[in-house]
Structure 1
Amino acid sequence: MLNHKTFALLLLGSTALLPGASFAADMPDFVEPAVVEVKQFGGWYLRGDVGITNQRVDEFTSPLFETGDFAVTESDFDASAFLGFGVGYRINKQFRVDVTGEYRFESEFNGLDNYADEDLPGGLGINDYDGNKTEWVALVNGYFDLPTYGIMTPFIGAGVGAARVEINDFTDFNPAVPGTALGLSGDTDTWNFAWALYAGLAFEVTPQWTFEVAYRYLNLGDAETEDLVTPEGANPSFNPYSFNDLTSHDVKMAVRYNFN
């Protein structure tokens, strides 16, 4: 039979267990923390580029122009297309580099000059110049990617390399005698230092595929013709003709395939 002391001890013990029981009942089930996937940066990529050129020549010159009162009134290249490929590596979130090679398709040159000649009607003569230019360009490029907005990442960049500039079928015509060539140059090619500046937008369509649209300023260096030969075979001393400071304002699109 329980005495009053034993009863009191049992009552105290059961009371002490109640908070623990209540606490155990209120404890939530253990949930493992979610695994947060950290996007990895770095890795190789391939790229393909297509674009349109808007080409310029700073100065069209010849020793001929120093022999009299000559004025160059036109010296323009037509727009053309280009196609390129490359391989690159993303160093981190901000920086990537690539090596690109491209072929720039034929661009026609249109040139005109006039000069004083008292023996010609009106005392003015005209030379009409025609020819074509193509290039092979290889560049090592570096890019800085700015903060991303959704899937869009603005970027800027610069590149250095070499350009092989080819001048083909360069001819001097006299508009007063249609179809008559005053001089014809053989084809030439010149290797130059080339450099470029970029600004564009990249769109990450999937982790593997990125689409780019960009502007590029490209400096291709200088080029020149051979000495022009007349139909009679003469080789006048006022040759060759030079294209100084060839540049191009390009609009281009690219697709990058990322291996990481």
Structure 2
Amino acid sequence: MSSKNFVRNMVWAAAVAGLVSFVERSAAADYWVPPGDGVPALPDDEVQFASNWYVRGDLAYAQESFPKIAPDSTFGASQSVLNSYSAGVGGGYKINDWFRTDLILDYRSKVQAAAIGPSIRCITAVDASGNVTATDICTSHLNTEIHRWDLLANGYVDLATWGGFTPYIGAGAGVTWSRNWQSDTWTMSNGLPYQVSTNGFFFDFDRSQTRMHYQFAWALMAGVAIAMTDHAQLDVGYRFLDLGTVSGFSGLTGTSVSQRVFVNELRAGVRYMID
């Protein structure tokens, strides 16, 4: 064999060997081997789901500037400090790392008071001509019961997070409503219900009323959220509330009176992210 033929045969052999190697590598790339038997599985792309919705529950202790209901006073005569409590539930949405919003329904503790009001000289007997023939000292007994709720939509700015602590500020607005029941009954000096002995005349000081009140309410708040788990945070803060006016009637004159109620509230609750 000549040297020329030898070189040509070697070139053909190298080309055939390269083609075979290429085909084998291509087949191996297309051939999928299931995981197991010592063959590692291919990593899946990591998928994270976050709805950004959360639910919350809160308890609060409050001091309210409330109409004074006490002995020798009339409903709404002056302000007093009322210690109260509230419990709330709600849900919200975290828009981004800086802003979130929620809707909270609160039930506030019932206001209940019984007071001995003013004593006045009252008519107890009248003759046929309308002349007063007897009087006595009569005393009023004032009873009040108020049930209250408020529903507020709130927005918050989360300032930043340091070591799991996230301070925030916020504001809210909504509606507050209450069911107010009030009665005023009178007794004579002998302790019996007030009555008049008369011929055709009738005197009655007793009165009662039940009303539902719906009013605008607003709030300002500040606090800090403390991370407990990846999904739960402890929320501790302060809230100022303007709950509008509460109305009733004077135990002395029977005229309608009202006063505005302001609330300073310390709140603690849990927020849970739904992921």
RMSD: 4.1
- Match of 1:150, SS state, is coil
Who is 1:193 aligned against? 216
Uncovered stretches (5+) of structure 2, i.e. residues with no partner = 1-45, 122-137, 195-204
Who is 1:54 aligned against? 63
The count of residues paired between Structure 1 and Structure 2 equals 202
Who is 1:26 aligned against? none
Change (3 A) 1:253 1:178: farther
Counterpart-to-counterpart distance in 2, 1:87 and 1:111: 40
Cα offset for 1:57? 3.3
- Match of 1:185, SS state, is strand
Counterpart-to-counterpart distance in 1, 2:142 and 2:101: 41
User: Contact 1:112–1:126 (CA<8 Å) still a contact in 2?
Assistant: yes
Change (3 A) 1:40 1:147: farther
Counterpart-to-counterpart distance in 1, 2:81 and 2:193: 22
Deviations along 1:60-86, whole A, 9 cap, x unmatched?
9xxxx9xxxx9x875436322211110
Change (3 A) 1:178 1:166: farther
Change (3 A) 1:241 1:97: same
Which of these two proteins has the greater Rg computed from alpha carbons?
2
Counterpart-to-counterpart distance in 2, 1:173 and 1:210: 54
Matches within 5 A, 1:131-150: 131-150=144-163
Counterpart of 1:57, as a letter, is F
Deviations along 1:201-241, whole A, 9 cap, x unmatched?
1101112101111111111111323697xxxxxxx9x4343
Match of 1:202 among 225, 231, 242: 225
Matches within 5 A, 1:23-42: none
- Match of 1:187, SS state, is strand
Change (3 A) 1:45 1:184: same
Counterpart-to-counterpart distance in 2, 1:219 and 1:177: 44
Deviations along 1:69-125, whole A, 9 cap, x unmatched?
x9x8754363222111101000111110001111112123588988999xxxxxxx9
Counterpart-to-counterpart distance in 2, 1:83 and 1:101: 8
What percentage of aligned pairs have identical amino acids? 27
Counterpart-to-counterpart distance in 2, 1:177 and 1:215: 51
Cα offset for 1:248? 1.2
Counterpart of 1:152, as a letter, is F
Uncovered stretches (5+) of structure 1, i.e. residues with no partner = 1-36, 118-124, 229-235
Who is 1:239 aligned against? 254
- Match of 2:97, SS state, is coil
User: Contact 1:75–1:111 (CA<8 Å) still a contact in 2?
Assistant: no
1:44 aligns with 2:92: no
Matches within 5 A, 1:145-164: 145-164=158-177
User: Contact 2:182–2:248 (CA<8 Å) still a contact in 1?
Assistant: no
Change (3 A) 1:113 1:41: farther
- Match of 1:54, SS state, is strand
Who is 2:179 aligned against? 166
TM-score, normalised relative to structure 1:
0.63
TM-score, normalised relative to structure 2:
0.59
Who is 2:106 aligned against? 102
